Amino acid sequence: MNGPASGSPTGLSAVELELLDALDALCGSPPVHATSAALLARLDDEAGIAPRHAYEVLCLAAQDHVSHLPLVDGHGNVGEHPDGPAANPRYTEVRPSPVGQLAHRHRTTGGLGLPIGLVNGNVHLGGHRPAFDPRRVLATVEHACRRPAATDSELCDLVGAPSFPSGCGVGVDLAALTAGEEVDLECTARVERAGDAHGGRFVISRWPPTSSPHRAARAIAARSADAARARPFPEIDDQMVAVRDIAVLSSRRELVVDLHDDADPERELAKLRTIHGVTTLTRTRLPAPLATLVRRHASRDRAAMLAALGELRDELDLRDRVATGER
Amino acid sequence: MAAPVPPPVLAAAVLRSRGIDAVIIGGTAEWLHTGVGMPRDLDLAPAPTPANLAALTDGLTALGASPDHVPTADVLARTDVRSVPTAYGPVDVLAGRGRDEHHLLTAQAHTVTVLGVGLSVASLGDVLRLRHIHGYRPTRVAVR
């Protein structure tokens, strides 16, 4: 039987595990930053993982808008998933994040699989597993450790629906997903009416895991009434969005869409929500029923797992305090 | 004013409005027959003539596909399947299927009028047969 979420007890992919091993060896303890180029060379030599492939996984593992629990702390331009290219690996530096250190330490010393793969999912890597709320997953595994007789539905209720770091809206047949069936997951960005611009202004944020403001801006431009003007089919033109201007606020990962003066904002809102990128539909599937995945994490050394979950929760608390302090 | 239609259906209407001859198969065809579920992408079996493939190339560009992803007509004439990301979601061009049996699919197809455009939709029998061949799986309805 495979591990909890993929081929390892952590649910992390083989490449992510090799990354953690290489980071541990290269960055020391306490870890210092090393150039990505040095890490990639080591991965190529030691594990036979081609640098281009490893760099993509490395950069994604450093982006906190992609993963709830980033494994890597990156310096420099490590890219912006899904369409911002990273700098050459000579110019970026990496070390294991605190979560990455915890995952590596518990896996190598105690054989414990923290539920990081279950939390992060792998939809952003082109996989089928959605992400879940980290605190809810930790609480559920803890519950399963303390109460081995907990029912499946109890565990599934505690984990809740899929949840992505951006906070995008999620629609899914939850009963089917948690039973391990293949289902479609609909993710929708937040679209809010803003300002008092004529016709209307919408601010779009909280992107689905496979989308971005730049990607959505291109899609909206292609779906604008101006782009479709030459077509002699009024019913098709009527489906296009009456967009006057689009602006990407990169630093806030927001998109501002201004409508033509005579546009009906409610109707345009409905059309905006259908645009690919604002809404995405992704095939998802868990490798086993959700309750089974949770129990696999709780079935080993329960006392050690509870302690490890406490460390992970402390790390989340610290991160939240830092984020609050920065605001 | 009509309610917004699913993006893959709108993409099919845009392509047809540009004169492109292609039979719709896969989940979008199923949706056009039954109205059940939500189509995720558009699967097309285009007529294999050079002029139609050239028009399809232009049509994919009009759908907002990046030039890097749009195959030339020459490539479409040789390739089996190309998946092209567009502003309307993915469009899978089953060029090989078009070469092999566009005329057969057309003979059995239904014409469904959407947004004033007549779409050529493979018969349900062909949709199910091709699903078996290509491993399509029906779309599960998303429930909020």
> What pLDDT sits at residue A326?
57
Of the residues A187, A188, A224, A235, the best mutation for testing chain B's interface (the one with the most B CB atoms within 10 Å of its CB) is: A235
How close, in Å, is residue B87 to chain A by CA atoms? 4
Which residue's entry shows tokens 């190529």? A44
**pLDDT tens, A261-312?**
888 888 899 999 989 899 998 889 999 999 999 998 887 788 889 999 999 9
Tell which residue, A225, A275, A227, has the closest CA to residue A255.
Answer: A275
Contact A222 B87 (CB under 8 A): yes
pTM above 0.80, yes or no: yes
**pLDDT tens, B60-95?**
999 999 888 999 999 999 999 999 999 999 999 999
> What pLDDT sits at residue A2?
40
Q: Considering only the beta carbons, identify the residue of B87, B117, B144 that sits closest to A236.
A: B117
Q: Considering only the beta carbons, identify the residue of B1, B7, B143 that sits closest to A276.
A: B7
How close, in Å, is residue A76 to chain B by CA atoms? 27
Which chain B positions have a beta carbon within 8 Å of A235's beta carbon?
2, 115-117
Which chain B positions have a beta carbon within 8 Å of A239's beta carbon?
2, 4-5, 10, 13, 115
All residue ranges of chain B with pLDDT < 70 are 1, 135-144
How close, in Å, is residue A172 to chain B by CA atoms? 5
The verdict on ipTM greater than 0.90 is no
Contact B38 A184 (CB under 8 A): yes
Residuewise pLDDT in 10s, chain A (327 residues) = 344 444 566 788 889 999 999 999 999 989 999 999 999 999 999 999 999 999 999 999 999 888 999 999 999 988 877 777 889 999 999 999 999 999 998 888 777 788 999 999 999 888 999 999 999 999 999 999 999 999 999 999 999 999 999 999 999 999 999 999 999 999 999 999 987 656 689 999 999 998 989 989 999 999 887 766 666 788 898 889 999 999 998 888 899 999 988 888 888 999 999 898 999 988 899 999 999 999 988 877 888 899 999 999 999 999 888 877 754
> What pLDDT sits at residue A323?
79
The beta-carbon contacts of A195-199 under 8 Å, at least 24 apart in sequence, are A197/A258, A197/A259, A198/A261, A199/A242, A199/A244, A199/A258, A199/A259, A199/A260, A199/A261, A199/A262, A199/A263, A199/A265
> What pLDDT sits at residue A3?
42
Which chain A positions have a beta carbon within 8 Å of B17's beta carbon?
231-233, 236
B10 touching A (Cβ < 8 Å): yes
